Amino acid sequence: MTDTSQSSADRCAARPAWAHLLWIVLPLAVLGLAIAWLVSSDPLSSFRNGAPPVENITFERTILGNDGIRILVRAGGSEPMTIAQVQVDDAYWQFTQDPPGPIARGSTAWIALPYPWVLGEAHAVNVVTSTGTTFTHEIAVAVPTPTRDSLSLVAQAVLGAFVGILPVAIGLMFYPALRGVGRSGMDFLLSLTVGLLAFLFVDALEDAFELAGEAAALFQGPTMIVLAAAASFLLLMAAASTIMVGPWN
């Protein structure tokens, strides 16, 4: 160690504890003041030109039952928005909203319509806001929404076992036979497995982007998919590195 580095280390060691605390509190204080100024002064107010706020509604869920149609909507506009009227197949219908009143940005509300929907028919629901903006939701084929009961739970459990447990059990049954396939056979099977996993990855990614396009824009679905995929990859790489190297090395 040189004399310069030794003297620098001695100065750091001799620095009092309050000095270290000061360099932690000072940046946090500056950050707090900046946030307070940003919230109180509203520096973007000069960019507003009096135009009406941008409104956006995302239809997240539709329930068809004996009492009519129930729709879950999420507001994605820049300001709270109010639902003034609702049309079903070009006819105005009375509706109830839960919770009532304006819907804040990012909040949801249930719209209940006592509409006598027809099994197998298509229906169009138009939501009209207080500013006159309309949003359309298409029900391609009207069928009753499944309810939560013991029969549906058993059916889903059987389907989950068939998709998740049965393939693993069958694969384990092949283990004694795989021990005799040799090196070339094992390489072929591993290549086949990698190809299948790559296909599943592309298919899952395509479905994820499709669902992200249907979600509310304020969630930034495509960006969340990329970040989640990158985080999962880094987590798996870190876990693999820890397993191979060992946590104590």
- pLDDT of res. 137: 93
Question: Does the pLDDT at position 15 exceed 80?
Answer: no
Is residue 81 over pLDDT 70? yes
| pLDDT score for 249 | 52
- CA separation for the pair 87, 122 (Å, rounded): 14
Nearest to 136 by CA among 58, 214, 221, 219: 58
pLDDT of residue 29: 92
Q: How confident is the model at residue 13 (pLDDT cuts 50, 70, 90)?
A: low
Q: What pTM, to 2 d.p., does this model score?
A: 0.65
154 against 9, higher pLDDT: 154
Q: Across all residues in the chain, what is the average pLDDT?
A: 84
Q: Is 61 within 8 Å of 215 (Cβ atoms)?
A: no
Q: Give the separation between CA 110 and CA 73, rounded to whole angstroms.
A: 6
Q: Does 50 have pLDDT greater than 70?
A: no
SS (H, E, C) the chain: CCHHHHHHHHHHHHCCHHHHHHHHHHHHHHHHHHHHHHHHHCHHHHHCCCCCCCCCEEEEEEEEECCEEEEEEEECCCCCECEEEEEECCEECCCEEECCCCECCCCEEEEEECCCCCCCCCEEEEEEECCCCEEEEEECCCCCCCCCCHHHHHHHHHHHHHHHHHHHHHHHHCHHHHCCCHHHHHHHHHHHHHHHHHHHHHHHHHHHHHHHHHCCHHHCHHHHHHHHHHHHHHHHHHHHHHHHHCCCC
Quick one: pLDDT band at residue 48, thresholds 50, 70, 90? low
Instruction: Check residue 76 and give its pLDDT.
Output: 85
- Spell out the long-range contacts of 208-211 with Cβ–Cβ below 8 A and sequence spacing 24 or more: none
User: Max Cα separation, the chain?
Assistant: 88
Both tokens of 180, joined, read 């005799």
Residue type, 19: A
What pLDDT digit, counting tens, does each position of 58-69 carry? 899 999 999 899
Residue 125's DSSP bridge partners are 88, 137
Q: For residue 51, what pLDDT is reported?
A: 64
pLDDT exceeds 70 at position 10: no
Token code pair at residue 16: 């009092």
Q: For residue 49, what pLDDT is reported? A: 63
Percent of the chain predicted with pLDDT > 90: 31
Q: For 174-231, what is each residue's pLDDT tens digit?
A: 888 877 778 888 888 889 889 998 999 899 999 999 888 878 777 888 888 999 989 9
